[in-house]
Amino acid sequence: MTPLSPLAWLYGLATKLRNALYDRQIFKSYHPGVRVISIGNLTTGGTGKTPLVALTAKLLAKKGEKVCVLTRGYGRKDPGRQVLVSDGERVLADATTGGDEPVELARKLIGKAAVIADRDRLSASAWAKENLGSTCFVLDDGFQHRRIKRDIDIVCVDATDPFGNGELLPEGRLREGKSSLNRANAVVITRADLVDDTAAIEREIAQQAPAAKIFRSRSRLCRIVELKGYVDESPKAIDLASLPTVFAFCAIGNPSAFFRQLRSIDLRVGGSKAFRDHHRFTSSDVTDFEDAARRSKCEVLVTTAKDAVRLTNLVFSMPCYVVEMEIEIDDIDEFQKLISSS
């Protein structure tokens, strides 16, 4: 029992009531008329969801679908405004107007999928069908967004911190109780390579959602590129072996996982600094972590793709590189079948 326990109890009660109203169709859900794949979380913070959204969109595009990613776009300047972040061919917004994760997705999905940031994703789907000819939607962070019906519900569970401390917000990190996993068609255990074993997590998932398919995934280094020109140009790729000792910084939901991943790919990490998720970096921040890097005898900086889109207008006195990671899923053929089936 903590001072936040009563608030968590009230939050849980409100969540159960909301879900019950949707389950009984008192609150209405609406289907946009084309296939919808929702990818979301049970917890707050980074679970490796964004790379899975990108992979799903790429797999659907490979099957001939005209894909559009629908996302709320947390951290953007005007969250109520609909923003076409990408038309599928060009990135049309920056992190301030479109949000960091939408811009990151837009950059990853050039030639594969459009990206729209809109709090009202049902309205965004209607616009995309009419103006972009979208034939399939990937709903980013959609598990709790029940107003839009989906054909497949996929939930990410981070192997390094699967259910937080097991408590609901604001006492813990759960957005809703673990029993809500029974709505999921599939659960993807992310960062499975960063733990010794996922058996206990799989047992918990199977207990809560016996009908859900369970996949394991891991992050793979795609490439390391210069921060300069990251969004709107073709940044120069860097040989991993050529990098000296690095100072890592990020503002993501699970910074410790990022730092562990860097060490897992044999980068020499001399120091690190984490900011709160979606932090808007300033020139003062750059000065601070460059000074920290020098004190740690690090010669270069490294950060994530999500952070990179918020850094492009800032000036660095040290070389700064972006570590791009991709997700790999065990039994990718089964996953492809899941998201593509009618």
Say whether both 280 and 307 belong to one domain. yes
Q: Do the Cβ atoms of 173 and 164 come closer than 8 Å?
A: yes
Which residues partner with 326 through β-bridges?
Answer: 220
Say whether both 296 and 203 belong to one domain. no
Note the pLDDT tens digit of each residue in 280-308: 999 999 999 999 999 999 999 999 999 99
Say whether both 264 and 289 belong to one domain. yes
What stretches of 53-98 adopt beta strand conformation (E)?
67-71, 83-86
Lowest mean per-residue pLDDT among 55-69, 217-231, 318-332: 217-231
Split at pLDDT 50, 70, 90, the class of 259 is very high
Q: Which long-range contacts (CB under 8 A, 24 or more apart) does 235-241 make?
A: 235/322, 238/321, 240/265, 240/266, 240/267
The residue behind tokens 């980013």 is: 140
Tell me the average pLDDT across 214-221. Answer: 94
341: exposed, middle or buried (Cβ count in 10 Å: 0-12, 13-18, 19+):
exposed
Note the pLDDT tens digit of each residue in 141-190: 999 999 999 999 999 999 999 998 889 999 999 999 999 999 999 999 99
Split at pLDDT 50, 70, 90, the class of 234 is confident
Tell me the average pLDDT across 335-339. Answer: 96
Percentage of residues in the chain having pLDDT higher than 90:
83
Q: Do the Cβ atoms of 83 and 116 come closer than 8 Å?
A: yes
Note the pLDDT tens digit of each residue in 309-329: 999 889 999 999 999 999 999
Say whether both 234 and 211 belong to one domain. no
pLDDT higher than 80, residue 226: yes
Say whether both 173 and 248 belong to one domain. no
Query: When comparing pLDDT for 154 and 264, which is higher?
Result: 154
pTM of the predicted structure, to 2 decimals: 0.94
Question: What pLDDT was estimated at residue 341?
Answer: 72
Note the pLDDT tens digit of each residue in 10-35: 999 999 999 999 999 999 999 999 99
Question: What pLDDT was estimated at residue 233?
Answer: 73
What stretches of 205-305 adopt beta strand conformation (E)?
213-226, 237-238, 246-250, 269-274, 300-304
Polymer length of the chain: 342
pLDDT higher than 70, residue 342: no
Question: What pLDDT was estimated at residue 334?
Answer: 96
Bond before 319 cis per omega within 30 degrees: no
pLDDT higher than 60, residue 5: yes
pLDDT higher than 90, residue 48: no
Question: CATH number, domain at 261?
Answer: 3.40.50
Q: Which of 304, 47, 335, 51 is CA-nearest to residue 194?
A: 47
pLDDT higher than 90, residue 230: no
Question: What pLDDT was estimated at residue 121?
Answer: 95
* 24 conformational bin, left if phi > 0, alpha if psi -120 to 50, beta if neither: alpha
pLDDT higher than 70, residue 199: yes
Say whether both 200 and 245 belong to one domain. no
Split at pLDDT 50, 70, 90, the class of 77 is confident
Say whether both 176 and 128 belong to one domain. yes
Say whether both 172 and 255 belong to one domain. no
Mean pLDDT of the chain: 94
| Helix, strand, coil percentages, rounded to 5, for the chain | 35, 25, 40
Query: When comparing pLDDT for 45 and 251, which is higher?
Result: 251
Question: CATH number, domain at 180?
Answer: 3.40.50.300
Say whether both 129 and 246 belong to one domain. no
Say whether both 279 and 192 belong to one domain. no
Both structure tokens of 62: 């490979």
Say whether both 247 and 141 belong to one domain. no
Percentage of residues in the chain having pLDDT higher than 70:
100
Say whether both 82 and 199 belong to one domain. yes
Q: Tell me, what DSSP letter sits at residue 296?
A: T
250: exposed, middle or buried (Cβ count in 10 Å: 0-12, 13-18, 19+):
buried
Domain that holds residue 287: 221-325
Domains contained in the chain, number: 2
| 3-class DSSP state of 40 | strand
Both structure tokens of 59: 């797999």
